[in-house]
Amino acid sequence: MTGSDTAEWFEPDWFETGRKAVWPPYARFEAEALPVVAASGVRLTLADGRELIDGVANWWSACHGHGHPAIKAAVSAQLDRFPHLMFAGLAHESAYRLAERLTRLVPGDFTRVFFTESGSVSVEVGLKIALQYAMITGRRFATRFLAFRGGYHGDTLATMPLADPEEGMHAMYAGVFNPALLADLPEDEATTAALDRLLADSAREIAAVVVEPLVQGAGGMKMHAPETLATIRRLCDRHGVLLILDEIFTGFGRTGTMFAFEQAGVVPDILCLSKALSGGTLPLAATLARRPIAEAFERDHPAAVLMHGPTYMANALACAAANASLDLFEAEPRLEQAARIEAQLKAELEPCCALPGVVDVRVKGAIGVVQMDRQTDALRHRFPPLGAWIRPFRDILYLTPSLTIGEGDLSRLTAAIRRVAAS
C-alpha cells in the first residue's frame, strides 16, 4: 500500500474528535501529534501520505523494525489458539518456552523469570524481590535503595524515587516519597571512594543498588565505561548488597552486545528487561533472578511468596512475539548490524562537534547523541519536513534506529540531525 493509498482511506474523524479526549504522555493537552496510518520496516506513513523514517525505533523498542513478518506470523498463530490466559494456576507454551530461553540466553546463573507488562513494573518487581529477599535472609532493616544521578527507572510510584530529584522528570514529587540514596557514578577515584563510603555507612539499610548499565537512557543518554559498572559490582560485593541492572533500554543488542552488562564482565543479581523483548510489538517485560535469590524463595518463610500478579502477566500474544524476536536474533545478524550502525553514526554525527551550540557528540552501539547547550523540545517540529521521525528531549538530539535500518535511511537521519543542530 502506497502513501497515497493510505491517505485515500484515512478517515479524519477519529483523529479530530479523539485528540480532545486523549491524555498525551509527557505533554500538555494541546500537544501536537502526527496521525499514522501504517508502519513497516523503518517507515511510518502519515495520514497525508508522507513517509517518515523512524529514527527512534518506536521509543527504542522496534529492534527488527515495524511489522516484521516473522513476528506477525507468530502472533497470528498464537491468536488462533488463544490471546491470553490468566497466569495463576494456568500455563501456556509461549510463556514457558520464553522463560526457559531467557535463562539460557542471559549470561549468569539466572533461574527464574517473572513476567509483567511494562519496564517500570519490571523494576518494581525487582525492588520487591530485593525487599523480600532481605526479609527472608534476616536483613529486616534493608528497606532502601541506592541509585545514581542522571538515572531513570520508570514512572510508577516506587520507581520515581530512584530518579535524580533535581535533573529527573519527577522533581515535582520531591518530598512525597522516601527518596533513594543517590550517588554519582564511580567514574574516578573520588567518586569511587564516595560510593564506597556511602555503602559502608548504609549497607545495613540498603536492599539493592539499581543502575542502567553503560547508558542512562531517559536521563539524557549519558554514557559510562564498562569499568564503571565493574566498580559498582565490586563495591556491592564488598558490602553485601544486591545489584539490580535495568536493561530495559540497553537490552537486546542496542549497545552492541546482546546485553550491555556483558561488556563489563559482570553479572547482576536481578535483571530487568522490556522494550525490545517483544520486538516492539506488544507490552511485555521480564524480571530475572539469579539462582541464590530464587533459592531463598524456596525456604519456609512468610516472605517467600512474591506478592505480585498482574492480570495480563505473561500475555500469550506478547510471549509469542518475544519468542519470534529471539528467533530473529539467532537467525539474522543483529549484533553485526549494530556494529555497522555504530560506525556510521560516529562518522556522520562527528561533524556536529564543530557546530555552534553543540556541547558533545557521543555514540554507543546503535545510539547516537548530539548534546546541545539548550533545551531541544522546540526543535521537534523541524524533523518531519525532513522526512524523519526524531523526538529530541532535554538538551539532546538523538538516534536509536531499528537494528535493521539501511545505510541510506540512516544517512537521511544523520543529515537531518546535522541540519537541525546547525539551525
What residues are labeled active site? 26, 152, 246, 275
Q: Phi-psi category of 408—alpha, beta or left, where left has phi over 0 and alpha has psi -120 to 50?
A: alpha
Q: Which residues contact 86 (CB under 8 A, 6 or more apart)?
A: 311
CA torsion through residues 53, 57, 62, 64, sign: positive
Whole-angstrom CA distances from 238 to 130, 192, 200 are: 17, 13, 9
- Helix, strand or coil for residue 398? strand
Q: What are phi and psi of 74, to 5 degrees?
A: -65, -40
For residue 64, give the C-alpha cell. 527488527
Q: Which amino acid is at 199?
A: L
Burial of 215 (0-12, 13-18, 19+ CB in 10 A): buried
Q: Rg of the Cα trace of the chain?
A: 22
Q: How far is 386 from 53, CA to CA, in rounded Å?
A: 9
Helix (H) or strand (E) run with residue 393 in it: none
Q: How far is 248 from 277, CA to CA, in rounded Å?
A: 9
- Beta-strand relationship, 206-211 and 242-246: parallel
